[in-house]
Structure 1
Amino acid sequence: MLEIVFLIPFITGSAAFFLPAKIGRRLLVLTGSVHLILSIIVWAGRLPPLYPDYFAVTPEGLLSLLVISLLFFLISIYTIAYLKASDIRAENIFTGSMLLFLSTMTMVTLSDHIMVMWIAIEATTLASAPLIYTHRSAASLEATWKYVLICSVGIAMALLGSVLVTVAMDVGRVDAPISFSAMTGVARKMDPVWLKAGFVFILVGYGTKMGLAPMHTWLPDAHSEAPSPASALLSGVLLNCAYLGIFKTNKVMHAAGLADFSGPILIVFGLVSIMAAATFILKQTEYKRMLAYSSIENMGIIAFGTGIGGLGAYGAMICLIHHSLIKSSLFLTSGNILLGFGSRFIARTGNLAGRMPKTFVAFFGGFAGISGFPPFGIFIGELLIIIGAFRTGNHVGAAFFILSLCVIFAGFANNIMKISFDTSDATIRIREEASLVWPQYALLLTSLVLCFWMPDTLYQTIIHAVNAIGGGF
Structure 2
Amino acid sequence: MIELVFLLPLVAGLAALALPSGMSRILLLCTALLHLQLTVMSWMGKLTPAFPQFFSASPEGLLILLVTSFIFVCISIYAFSYIEETEVENKPVFNCCMMLFLGTMSMVTLSDHPIVLWIAIEATTLVSAPLIFSHRSTEALEATWKYILICSVGIALALLGCFFITLAMELGNIDAPLTFNSLNTVAAQLDPVWLKAGFIFVVIGFGTKMGLAPMHTWLPDAHSQAPSPASALLSGALLNCAFLGIYKMDVLMNVAGLGEFSGNVLVGFGLLSMIVGAIFIIGQPDYKRMLAYSSIKNMGVIAFGVGIGGFAMYGAFLHLIHHSLIKSSLFLSAGNILLGFGTKKVQRIGGIINSLPKTFVSFFAGFVGISGLPPFGLFISEVIIIIGAFQSKRYISASLFLFGLTLVFAGAGRVFMSMSFGESVEKVQVGEKMLRLIAPYALLLASLTLCVWMPDAIYTAINQAIATIGGTIHG
- Same fold per superposition (TM over 0.5): yes
**Matching residue's letter, 1:367:** F
Counterpart of 1:176? 176
Query: What do the CA deviations read for 1:404-426 (whole angstroms, capped 9, x no partner)?
Result: 11011000000000100001253
Counterpart of 1:233? 233
Counterpart of 2:25? 25
**Matching residue's letter, 1:211:** G
**1:323 aligned onto 2:323:** yes
- CA separation in 2, counterparts of 1:469 and 1:221? 36
**Matching residue's letter, 2:327:** K
- CA separation in 2, counterparts of 1:407 and 1:244? 27
Structure 2: segments with no counterpart, 5+ residues = none
Please say if residues 85 and 430 of structure 1, whose CA atoms lie closer than 8 Å, have aligned partners that are also in contact: no
Q: CA deviation at 1:428?
A: 1.2
- CA separation in 2, counterparts of 1:425 and 1:132? 28
Counterpart of 1:189? 189
Please say if residues 348 and 425 of structure 2, whose CA atoms lie closer than 8 Å, have aligned partners that are also in contact: no
- CA separation in 2, counterparts of 1:451 and 1:331? 21
- CA separation in 2, counterparts of 1:317 and 1:67? 11
Counterpart of 1:399? 399
Q: How does 1:79-118 map to 2 (within 5 A)?
A: 79-118=79-118
Please say if residues 158 and 201 of structure 1, whose CA atoms lie closer than 8 Å, have aligned partners that are also in contact: yes
Q: How does 1:106-255 map to 2 (within 5 A)?
A: 106-255=106-255
Please say if residues 210 and 238 of structure 1, whose CA atoms lie closer than 8 Å, have aligned partners that are also in contact: yes
Q: How does 1:338-353 map to 2 (within 5 A)?
A: 338-353=338-353
Secondary structure of the residue that 1:437 maps to in structure 2? helix
**Matching residue's letter, 2:44:** A
Q: CA deviation at 1:431?
A: 2.1
**Matching residue's letter, 2:116:** V
Q: CA deviation at 1:175?
A: 1.1
Q: CA deviation at 1:348?
A: 1.2
- CA separation in 1, counterparts of 2:146 and 2:18? 28
**Matching residue's letter, 2:412:** F
- CA separation in 1, counterparts of 2:303 and 2:88? 36
Secondary structure of the residue that 1:462 maps to in structure 2? helix
Counterpart of 2:419? 419
**Matching residue's letter, 2:254:** H
Counterpart of 1:451? 451
Secondary structure of the residue that 1:305 maps to in structure 2? helix
Q: CA deviation at 1:232?
A: 0.1
**Matching residue's letter, 2:74:** L
- CA separation in 1, counterparts of 2:264 and 2:148? 29
Query: What do the CA deviations read for 1:339-390 (whole angstroms, capped 9, x no partner)?
Result: 0000000011110000000000000011001100112111111001101111
**Matching residue's letter, 1:346:** V
Counterpart of 2:41? 41
Secondary structure of the residue that 2:199 maps to in structure 1? helix
Query: What do the CA deviations read for 1:85-129 (whole angstroms, capped 9, x no partner)?
Result: 212101111110000000000000000001000000000000100
Counterpart of 1:60? 60
Over 3 Å counting, the alpha-carbon distance change for 1:293 and 1:425 in structure 2 is: closer
- CA separation in 2, counterparts of 1:416 and 1:423? 13
Query: What do the CA deviations read for 1:135-169 (whole angstroms, capped 9, x no partner)?
Result: 01110000000000000000000000001011111
Structure 1: segments with no counterpart, 5+ residues = none
- CA separation in 2, counterparts of 1:295 and 1:455? 26
Q: CA deviation at 1:226?
A: 0.2
TM-score, scaled relative to structure 2: 0.99
- CA separation in 2, counterparts of 1:141 and 1:18? 25
- CA separation in 1, counterparts of 2:292 and 2:83? 22
* Identical-residue share of aligned pairs (%): 57
**Matching residue's letter, 1:101:** F
Please say if residues 68 and 237 of structure 2, whose CA atoms lie closer than 8 Å, have aligned partners that are also in contact: yes
**Matching residue's letter, 2:336:** N
- CA separation in 1, counterparts of 2:230 and 2:125? 13
- CA separation in 1, counterparts of 2:9 and 2:429? 34
Q: CA deviation at 1:84?
A: 2.2
Counterpart of 1:9? 9
**Matching residue's letter, 2:290:** M
- CA separation in 1, counterparts of 2:217 and 2:260? 29
Q: CA deviation at 1:72?
A: 0.4
- CA separation in 2, counterparts of 1:469 and 1:357? 46
Q: CA deviation at 1:432?
A: 1.1
**Matching residue's letter, 1:262:** S
- CA separation in 1, counterparts of 2:426 and 2:279? 30
Query: What do the CA deviations read for 1:409-452 (whole angstroms, capped 9, x no partner)?
Result: 00000000010000125321222111111111100000000000
Q: How does 1:356-371 map to 2 (within 5 A)?
A: 356-371=356-371
Q: CA deviation at 1:18?
A: 2.2
Q: How does 1:220-299 map to 2 (within 5 A)?
A: 220-299=220-299
- CA separation in 2, counterparts of 1:56 and 1:190? 22
- CA separation in 1, counterparts of 2:241 and 2:38? 19
Please say if residues 274 and 301 of structure 2, whose CA atoms lie closer than 8 Å, have aligned partners that are also in contact: yes
- Stretches of 4+ moved more than 3 A in 1? none
Secondary structure of the residue that 2:186 maps to in structure 1? helix
Counterpart of 1:441? 441
Q: CA deviation at 1:393?
A: 1.1
Counterpart of 2:468? 468
Q: How does 1:301-312 map to 2 (within 5 A)?
A: 301-312=301-312
Q: CA deviation at 1:331?
A: 0.3
- CA separation in 2, counterparts of 1:307 and 1:347? 38
- CA separation in 1, counterparts of 2:121 and 2:86? 30
Q: CA deviation at 1:19?
A: 1.3
Q: CA deviation at 1:279?
A: 0.9
**Number of residue pairs aligned between Structure 1 and Structure 2:** 473
Tell me the C-alpha RMSD between the 2 structures: 0.7
- CA separation in 2, counterparts of 1:101 and 1:238? 9
- CA separation in 2, counterparts of 1:84 and 1:21? 9
Secondary structure of the residue that 1:160 maps to in structure 2? helix
Q: CA deviation at 1:212?
A: 0.2
TM-score, scaled relative to structure 1: 0.99
- CA separation in 2, counterparts of 1:142 and 1:468? 42
Counterpart of 1:429? 429
Query: What do the CA deviations read for 1:219-263 (whole angstroms, capped 9, x no partner)?
Result: 000000000000000000000000000000000000000001100
